[in-house]
Structure 1
Amino acid sequence: MARYNKIYGGPVEEVKPQVHEAICDTSVLPGTAVVRTAGKFVAAVAASKGRMFVVQDNYLAMKGVDDAWPAGDRIIGMELLDEQLFRVRVPTGNNIAQDAALTINANGKFVAAASGNFVVAFANEAYNNTSGADQLVSVRAAKGYHFA
């Protein structure tokens, strides 16, 4: 069961996040990082740079944050903007400290950045994921480009 029921975390007084739609050839869970390549979304990896998006929950089909978008579907990606909060996927076995620098692993999930990693976001909360499943953690996108 997810810790949060929405991927977009606010603030509520701003206009909703900038969203983009594109086909994704693979099944993808909300809260996963994606990038656009050749007009399609693909899972982001540690080497991904440039515009990064977080997959939104499929509210159009009344699906929750733990329901994957099917392969070949047109998905909604929210642009990571630094003044907004997002809930992102952190794999099991990861201990995230508040304000920790986060990067992307090979599956588009967010993990603590090691020295030299490209920093995508900063944790807005502390969470030790020993749940046995990916969990959602609140983050704020990093301003500009950072390396740990």
Structure 2
Amino acid sequence: MKFSLFPKETSLYESEFDILELIEILKENTLNGMLSSTNYQTNKKFIGSIEQESFKIISSAKKTSLFCVFEGQKANVGKQISIVKKFHPIFRNLFILWFVSILIVILFPPFEPNEIIEIFLFVSFATILRYVLIKVLFDTAKTEGIKRLSDLLKLSEIK
């Protein structure tokens, strides 16, 4: 298994519906908005944008659901759809900004440096934060979102 700081998975699914029906069902159940529009109270299942043969959405379930973005498009065969599950780009950028900021403070400390302890604390904190943000929150959002998509669109994963 390849290590990636920010996960991205692509899976192939088969639906009971053809792509046009699938897109119509998604349009009915998606609040049209930006992927950062999570403050809206909605009875729709997803938030995002739906195109003719593709979509880019997040689940509207609860606060952790915004960590995972689902990008889907029609696959080449019949009623198959390819879905990419990836870490939300806004949180990726915030994590990188935080990492660089702390690294700058360590490299150019405003006080008497104790580099070994600082580096150890930084690496430990970054590892814990990455685990919490990416493993726990992303995996929870991915699982909930795929369950909602599968229930709504009658999807079954092709192994």
TM-score (norm 2): 0.27
Instruction: Considering fraction of residues, name the structure with more helix.
Output: 2
Q: Which has the larger radius of gyration?
A: 2
TM-score normalised by length of structure 1: 0.28
Ranked by relative contact order (alpha carbons within 8 Å, sequence separation 6 or more), the top structure is 2
